[in-house]
Amino acid sequence: MTVQKKERDYLFDNIKAVLIFSVVLAHYFRMSDSFTLTAFGGAAYVISFSYIMQGFLFVSGYFSGNLDKCRSTAFRTFLFPYLILMPVMFGIRYSIFGNAHLNYALPTMALWYLLTLFYYRFLLKDLVRIKYILPISIVISLMAGFVPFLNSTLSLGRTFSFLPFFLLGYYFKKEWIERLRAIPKAAGLLALAALLCISVSIACFHLFPLAALYMKASYGATGLSWYQGVTVRSFILLISVLWIFVFINLAPKKKTFLVLVGQNTMTIYVLHIIVRYIIKYFGDSFGQDVRSYLMLTTAAVLSSWLFSRPVSLKLYHFLMDTLYEWIISKPRTLIRRIL
């Protein structure tokens, strides 16, 4: 009897590919010395940050069904790389810019995401025991803006603010995915057009401070009153959920050229930071013109392609696994033998 191999559902691979490319492109556009929200690069930046982290956390939550595995792998998969990459990125920054600071309590650049995912994955088993935790997390996200010390320190601001998206992914059912995909594509395209118009309006008319979009600091720290802050954050939560609908509704389920990129987003996410530092060093070489946009877009495409290759993935995991064995596993085994 021949067992037919189950065909992989490529929906989330395609979604993750778009998300990670948006991260890379937005980060590269931001490094131009002449970056401004009213230019094309600024609008693209606002559009991207309306959905990238929310989308990634939703997908991560969706694939976190094994609670015991989430907890047992949280340290090795997220916190350990954070502890290793912080000094590595410090060394790279120092080499490029001639000065840098290393503070484990203040995640550098995009590494905050590793810290936040460690919290979520490790604590998920306890969080889901709380009745009505999903609606509670929405309240927590809104209330976090009132607390000044929930900021970039240990990524606490973003951890509390983005929690609803991770939990939404965890509780989302496969049949709900199919229902959203069954909605006519015209509705998804209409929602996409509306979201693009909203994002461009935010950029061009400065509807609220850009810092509010990051949801990593208190309302006061971003220049908003408490009622403005709650309104803006509620608005961001709403449009982010609408973005998630758009991706689920419009993304293809079949294997495309994006799949390999979507399956290896972590190496892209980590390694593109190095390219970002280099672009920042040459920031005065990039303006808000067609030539600069083409160069930066090309760099984003090449980074996404190169860092998604199997060789990049194998190198990353080889280094992390080797260091983990040397720093964590072997000393722990030795201690056990002694005791």
User: Model confidence over 282-325: pLDDT tens digits?
Assistant: 999 999 999 999 999 999 999 999 999 999 999 999 999 999 99
Structure tokens that stand for 115 in this block: 């810290």
Residues with Cβ within 8 Å of 41's Cβ and at least 6 positions away in sequence, in order, are: 29, 30, 32, 35, 288, 293, 296
pLDDT tier at 337 (50, 70, 90 boundaries)?
A: low
Residue 3 has pLDDT above 70, yes or no: no
pLDDT in tens, 47-77: 999 999 999 999 999 999 999 999 999 999 9
Please report the pLDDT score of residue 1 as a whole number.
Answer: 45
CA distance 157 to 139: 14
Share of the chain above pLDDT 90, in %: 91
CA distance 33 to 41: 12
Summarize the confidence of residues 156-185 as an average pLDDT. 97
For the chain, how long is the longest CA-to-CA vector? 68
Dihedrals φ, ψ of 106, to 5°?
-120, 95
CA distance 281 to 109: 15
Coil vs helix vs strand at 219? coil
Summarize the confidence of residues 264-279 as an average pLDDT. 96
Residue 194 has pLDDT above 50, yes or no: yes
Please report the pLDDT score of residue 76 as a whole number.
Answer: 95
DSSP for 241-287, please give it: HHHHHHHHHHS-SS--TTHHHHHTHHHHHHHHHHHHHHHHHTGGG--
Residue 332 has pLDDT above 90, yes or no: no
Please report the pLDDT score of residue 315 as a whole number.
Answer: 94
Dihedral angle at the C-alpha atoms of 52, 297, 217, 170, nearest 10 degrees?
A: 10
Mean residue pLDDT of the chain comes to: 94
Residue 215 has pLDDT above 80, yes or no: yes
- End-to-end Cα spacing for the chain: 51
Q: Which of 44, 126, 115 is nearest to 74 (CA)?
A: 115
Q: In this structure, are residues 165 and 239 in contact, taking their beta carbons and an 8 Å threshold?
A: no
pTM: 0.94
Dihedral angle at the C-alpha atoms of 202, 207, 210, 215, nearest 10 degrees?
A: -100
CA distance 187 to 242: 11
